[in-house]
Structure 1
């Protein structure tokens, strides 16, 4: 194969905690104030990365961010030394401090939207960091995310980096969690599938009533323009608002795709039949054959899909052309979901293997296997141009596990976020990590 789909997983940060910050994400709000284990969370994520690397898949690491974000607290009027800023925020605005301590950068499906060179006008891989405008704790991520991506994909002849879209509700962008690409081979032109929750300027589109729609049509269209995509290779679809109101805050909670296969729920999209027909037609025009696997509500309800994160899974293409589905342990613990998965892999269809991972620390905050990874389709030459220090190996796995054991706490509560030593621990850890991953100066405390 001349090209690959590489997965770059977010390394869980030292401040991983359960503050219940993500309204619309049932798991996040439901586990508010639970005791977290940053060390265990990071180890669980690394174990998945290493297992997929060992299975022959291209696997990389995305670094966490500095937290608490003292720079963000200072912008909000908290002054003094770093310790004084944290102490004052803890006393006057503990909810803001919690937001500035979030380790949400671990969910790198929201880091950016990526278009491979086979699709773009200039033949380069394009990256646009997500502005994540819907949630304050995530909206502060994109400047550092952009610097980290540039340190990983530095060759300007092969990689193009755009700034995030305007940080305004009309252009709310949640990154690859609402973006999928279909193709025959990774190095051939494909169809890029953008899913949005609402239209900001066109009021003909319905909106959810209970939970926010985080991705706008206008944001998706802007990214397609920035990346130089052809209209004939783009499909836009609206997520079902009623499904959003059941806790499907991103499209990757109700569908997942890879190569020519879309695995999705019966209630994923508005005008679903028309959406699937357009994907089929546009991929066929490129010489591909689109396959949709639709899970009936009668077999797995939306509520069961949200609880199990059946669709927040990874579809990975094996050397024999078949697909493996990577699911969290929670999918095995819900009988109807596990029964469906057993039926799926024995159906003779393209998905013929299921692999289960324990990602409980991430799952309790509302992020499954798909949330933890950013997919980047790369040719051999592009892969060779990626910063090699971020690519998983036996040595990097051992080094990062040792780094986690050295710097991470085993237990973290909401009260611990007020401890100024936590910032010192995070900065010390990240300073060492930049050397391990050869990232240079990408963090605010290094740039000051």
Structure 2
């Protein structure tokens, strides 16, 4: 039986815009209020998905959320027709209005935490949508994310879905952006690494001072319990509060892992030596390749600006690993020099492939933000909704769908246009038919 790590990339939504909503995300804030291109963003994302498919990877698509979120505006007291609700919210509460228009679900590393059947007590693949409580615009996502995931992984014999954690900052959960799984083979039991920013119930422990720590220790523990993980295959490691205050809002901005490789910056964690020793002990006899990037080689600032660690680390058919990096890494001389030297070392990482995902990068998300990893065997993969798995036909169909429905440019002021809501709903209704998702959006329920 073959085993795969399938990447399910988020399809960029029709309201992709630069509202600068994410405090602590340097890229998001620095490009606030710029004009975006939803069409270019969606096509860039599709091109990356197709390229990975062509490299031999199994690649899937995860649908975006309905935006603007009129349902939430009505919950907040705005009344009238949909157009009147949008107009009132834009005039009376512009910050709330911009939040309910966010296309942030494109970063599907935050959609959920996933544990493969090889790790869980009942042998099923477990999914828990992230509650994303730290940011209002992202806290609107988990219910719809859960419905979409259930429509994609809809066979109860192999897949188990959990409700997101309580909507409270004590259980702040940011999904796979703070979760890494190491294993000798995707089908073998692995070590699941939960990285957290703070302890919710113990203020005496280290925590960042400038920017918020979005993932709590208590949330990470809860996910492990829900997924039926054991102490033997679980490691909890705290992010260095100092790097959070330098703009490292998620662990996947400072570290990435795949199979027997953990690629990380020397400032990424607290108690690094002890935690790496724990990872190796729980991993087993085979050595883990701990690839540490020194500050003298790449500064934290360069890592954040280029998203060196927000790259995808993939195992190709020949057994070698490749880094899927944004072109920003290629354009930074220090980072480009580091990567050129890295592939000459005696490690599993042998290749670097650069992709243009600038529309996503400008809003604070690199290649790793755009994908949710799900380890599956042949039987489990056959049970996945086949309409969401990338192939030549789906790629062409989705490109046509984007060309038909997406705007070339979008400013923050355009978000109040009621026609944009109509366009978005029309597009999403057609998308659910293409991907055979059924009714997952509030306007369809």
Match of 1:336 in 2: 334
CA deviation vs aligned residue, 1:169-201 (integer Å, no higher than 9, x gap): 000000000000011111111100000000001
Note the C-alpha offset of 1:395. Answer: 0.5
Contact 1:184 1:289 in 2 (8 A): no
Pairing partner for 2:323 from 317, 322, 325: 325
Match of 2:110 in 1: 110
CA deviation vs aligned residue, 1:177-229 (integer Å, no higher than 9, x gap): 00000111111111000000000012342110100000000000000000000
CA deviation vs aligned residue, 1:126-151 (integer Å, no higher than 9, x gap): 00000000000000000000000000
Match of 2:95 in 1: 95
Q: What secondary structure sits across from 1:382 in the alignment?
A: helix
In structure 2, the gaps of 5 or more residues are none
Note the C-alpha offset of 1:311. Answer: 0.1
Contact 2:247 2:304 in 1 (8 A): yes
Q: What secondary structure sits across from 1:101 in the alignment?
A: coil
Match of 1:391 in 2: 389
Note the C-alpha offset of 1:320. Answer: 2.3
Contact 2:327 2:354 in 1 (8 A): yes
Match of 1:371 in 2: 369
TM-score by length of 2: 0.99
Match of 2:235 in 1: 235
Q: Which moved more, 1:42-51 or 1:194-203?
A: 194-203
Q: What's the Cα RMSD here?
A: 0.7
CA deviation vs aligned residue, 1:332-372 (integer Å, no higher than 9, x gap): 11100000000001113110000000000000000000000
Contact 1:183 1:288 in 2 (8 A): no
Note the C-alpha offset of 1:322. Answer: 1.4
Residue 177 (1) aligns with residue 177 (2) = yes
CA deviation vs aligned residue, 1:222-259 (integer Å, no higher than 9, x gap): 00000000111000000000000000000000000000
How far apart in 1 are the matches of 2:87 and 2:441? Answer: 22
Q: What secondary structure sits across from 1:8 in the alignment?
A: strand
Pairing partner for 1:314 from 312, 315, 318: 312
CA deviation vs aligned residue, 1:277-325 (integer Å, no higher than 9, x gap): 11011001xx543110000000100000000100000000012221000
How far apart in 1 are the matches of 2:358 and 2:172? Answer: 29
Contact 2:87 2:416 in 1 (8 A): yes
How far apart in 2 are the matches of 1:316 and 1:167? Answer: 33
How far apart in 2 are the matches of 1:102 and 1:414? Answer: 10
Note the C-alpha offset of 1:79. Answer: 0.7
Contact 1:132 1:172 in 2 (8 A): yes
How far apart in 1 are the matches of 2:280 and 2:319? Answer: 19
Match of 2:71 in 1: 71
Match of 2:418 in 1: 420
Q: What secondary structure sits across from 2:339 in the alignment?
A: helix
Count of matched residue pairs:
445
How far apart in 1 are the matches of 2:136 and 2:386? Answer: 33
